[in-house]
């Protein structure tokens, strides 16, 4: 990260990616900060979360730390990264822990990754840390594996902007041993973790997810960023196959409705689009302009899903048409769509917003396209 130090260009972003707390992301980040300092680079720590880990805390010695900003919220004082102070200090490199963190209400920005964007725009190189479960498009898969709905997420397009992604890996057995020895959490919290998130089977699946994500990022950079820095898999023994070669002309259309399953559909479509390096559209179809056919609740839900798609850098459109299938397929042909993503109609007492015959109609009309029907994931009942 030493070749992009001028303030007249955007800084480089390096992400240390892990699959669980305690694998060593922050430790590796601070080690690099020391190496940069020894090489004569002006480096500061913008935010550091110790979690009581003595070996990691010891690495802060000798590094300049920017004091945190205190914010009052509901009678309690919270500490957040002082982005303005970092910008005034304007180091060459800034280490920022917990990239996916949500700032306390009253902060100028909602997410820490948004603060990091300001640092990058100012020409400051950033080292940061996050776990794979915080990547937005993996939200449904993580919930299926862990039973935890992760609320703090980072949009995929932000992760893709990283100049380097380094996976900090540790075998699940070694991580569990660290947890039992009290290295990761205090004893009482460690015991609770062993009963929930830190189950061996869960860690194995999350680790595999992180390995695949890292390999996916490497493939994208090899194709889209000639001369980019090499992504590494520290201590990894797993081999992940490269994605199948596809035509670069793939284009994906996601059908957006007010149904709750739409968020899942948008995540899935975005991830496939990234995998295929394809253009992506999120399209809603209404019989009347200005949302006149929707109730207030339906309108709010639809707008929420369209905004969610925009936040993932998906181009959105609202089409007018009485025949949803014909309108969708007509738009798809006009924009040379190769795949259409639809949510499976929900069965139950309520009437689904996607008609039961819509899938069949789209399949019949779009014979020259691939139509993908995505079912919402449900975790199997525990026995």
Q: How confident is the model over 164-185, as pLDDT tens digits?
A: 888 898 889 899 988 888 888 8
The Cα 229–Cα 306 span in angstroms is 34
* Residue 210 confidence (pLDDT) above 60: yes
* Residue 381 confidence (pLDDT) above 80: no
pLDDT at 125: 98
- Closest among 112, 129, 222, 133 to 167, alpha carbons compared: 129
The domains of the chain, with CATH numbers, are 13-234 (3.40.50.300), 251-374 (3.40.50.620)
Give pLDDT tens digits for 286-304.
988 777 788 899 999 999 9
| pLDDT bracket for residue 85 (50, 70, 90) | very high
On the 0-12 / 13-18 / 19+ scale of CB atoms within 10 A, 30 is buried
pLDDT at 8: 64
pLDDT at 360: 83
* Residue 232 confidence (pLDDT) above 60: no
pLDDT at 377: 54
pLDDT at 189: 77
Helix boundaries (H) for 112-226: 112-121, 139-146, 156-160, 172-180, 187-195, 200-224
Q: What is the mean pLDDT of residues 74-84?
A: 94
Q: What is the mean pLDDT of residues 313-341?
A: 92
The Cα 95–Cα 278 span in angstroms is 33
Give pLDDT tens digits for 102-136.
999 999 999 999 999 999 999 999 999 999 999 99
| Residues 6 or more apart whose Cβ sits within 8 Å of residue 282 | 253, 254, 256, 266, 269, 305, 306, 309, 314, 315, 316, 317
pLDDT at 83: 97
Which secondary structure element, helix H or strand E, spans residue 57, and what is its range?
helix 54-58
- The DSSP bridge partners found for residue 79 are 70
Lowest pLDDT segment from 64-68, 319-323, 372-376: 372-376
* Residue 354 confidence (pLDDT) above 50: no
**Whether the predicted model's global pTM rises above the 0.85 cut:** no
pLDDT at 202: 86
For all residues of the chain together, what is the average pLDDT? Answer: 83
Q: Show the tokens assigned to 150.
A: 């992760």
* Residue 380 confidence (pLDDT) above 70: no
């Amino acid at each position: 990260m030493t070749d992009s130090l001028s303030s007249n260009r955007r800084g480089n972003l390096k992400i240390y990616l892990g699959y669980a707390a305690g694998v060593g992301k922050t430790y590796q980040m601070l080690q690099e900060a020391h190496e940069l300092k020894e090489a004569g680079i002006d480096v500061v720590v913008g935010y550091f979360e110790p979690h009581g880990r003595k070996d990691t805390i010891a690495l802060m010695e000798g590094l300049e730390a920017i004091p945190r900003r205190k914010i009052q919220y509901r009678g309690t004082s919270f500490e957040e990264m002082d982005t303005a102070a970092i910008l005034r200090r304007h180091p060459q490199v800034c280490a920022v822990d917990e990239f996916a963190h949500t700032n306390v209400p009253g902060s100028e920005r909602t997410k820490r990754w948004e603060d990091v964007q300001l640092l990058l725009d100012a020409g400051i190189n950033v080292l940061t840390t996050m776990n794979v479960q915080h990547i937005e498009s993996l939200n449904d898969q993580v919930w299926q594996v862990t039973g935890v709905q992760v609320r703090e997420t980072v949009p995929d397009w932000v992760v893709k902007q990283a100049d380097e992604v380094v996976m900090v890996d540790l075998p699940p057995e070694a991580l569990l041993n660290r947890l039992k020895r009290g290295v990761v959490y205090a004893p009482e919290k460690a015991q609770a973790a062993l009963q929930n998130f830190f189950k061996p089977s869960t860690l194995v699946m999350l680790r595999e997810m992180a390995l695949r994500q890292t390999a996916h990022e490497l493939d994208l950079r090899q194709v889209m960023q000639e001369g980019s820095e090499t992504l590494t898999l520290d201590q990894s023994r797993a081999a992940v196959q490269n994605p199948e070669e596809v035509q670069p002309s793939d284009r994906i259309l996601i059908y957006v409705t007010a149904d709750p399953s739409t968020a899942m559909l948008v995540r899935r479509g975005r991830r496939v689009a990234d995998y295929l390096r394809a253009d992506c559209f999120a399209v809603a179809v209404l019989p009347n302009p200005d949302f006149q056919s929707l109730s207030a609740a339906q309108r709010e839900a639809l707008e929420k899903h369209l905004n969610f798609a925009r936040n993932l850098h998906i181009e959105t459109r609202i089409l007018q048409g009485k025949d949803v299938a014909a309108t969708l397929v007509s738009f798809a042909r006009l924009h040379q769509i190769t795949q259409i993503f639809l949510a499976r109609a929900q069965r139950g007492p309520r009437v689904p917003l996607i008609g039961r015959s819509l899938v069949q109609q789209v399949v019949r009309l779009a014979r020259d396209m691939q139509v993908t029907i995505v079912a919402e994931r449900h975790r199997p009942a525990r026995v």
